[in-house]
Structure 1
Amino acid sequence: MRNKWWTVAAANLAMGIPGVVPVWLLRYLAVNGPLAELGWTVREPTENDGMMLWLVIVVPVVTAFGLLWWLANDFARRWNTAAARVYWPVCALVTLVPTFALLIFL
């Protein structure tokens, strides 16, 4: 896999499709939690159960996705010759491409 950057990009793009779910969960938690408390956003009017239930859902999902993403990229990083300061940010941005596409086109 030496110098085959497209395989790493394809793997991160494929991981970005289910990665939309953790990004959305973090956004929902932030909008209805701390950002609403600071007055930056308006809390969802039907969200009256509190944030603890959401934390029980968000923490395992985000942790599982983050661990899977890190392990896959750490494995692929061994055979890639790109510098670490370039490799990790590019992988993160490629993983966020499906999320950005949904934001733009929906």
Structure 2
Amino acid sequence: MPVFLMWYIAVNGPLAELGWTVREPTENDGMMLWLVIVVPVVAAFVLLWWLANAFARRWNTAAARVYWPVCALVTLVPTFGLVIFL
């Protein structure tokens, strides 16, 4: 969810200013509201993600150079699905 929120901000903010995307027509609240919502959500997600994976890493036998990239990719799969199919 946090990555999807960052994507939504990028689409309606800087990418729309560059002309690469089209803004959501009903998005007229400004970007400050989104930043107030997204920053705590992303910070909480990153902290929980890191703590959960650091805890799980203790019992995993995979090398760190394999473990962390796989964890990041598995986390991003639902977001890519939302971005591509919505």
Within the alignment, does 1:39 sit opposite 2:6 as a pair?
Answer: no
Q: Assess, with a 3 A threshold, how the Cα gap between structure 1 residues 22 and 37 changes in structure 2: closer, same or farther.
A: same
Over the aligned positions, Cα root-mean-square deviation in angstroms equals 1.9
Name which of 47, 60, 82 aligns with 2:40: 60
Runs of 5+ unmatched residues, structure 2: none
Q: TM-score, normalised by structure 1?
A: 0.70
Q: Assess, with a 3 A threshold, how the Cα gap between structure 1 residues 76 and 97 changes in structure 2: closer, same or farther.
A: same
Identity within the alignment, %? 88
Can you list the C-alpha shifts for 1:26-66, whole angstroms capped at 9, x where unaligned? 11111001111111111112212210000000111111111
Matched to 1:26, the amino acid is M
Q: Structure 1 residue runs of 4+, over 6 Å off?
A: none
Runs of 5+ unmatched residues, structure 1: 1-20
Name which of 55, 69, 77 aligns with 2:57: 77
Number of aligned residues:
86
Name which of 97, 101, 106 aligns with 2:77: 97
Q: TM-score, normalised by structure 2?
A: 0.84
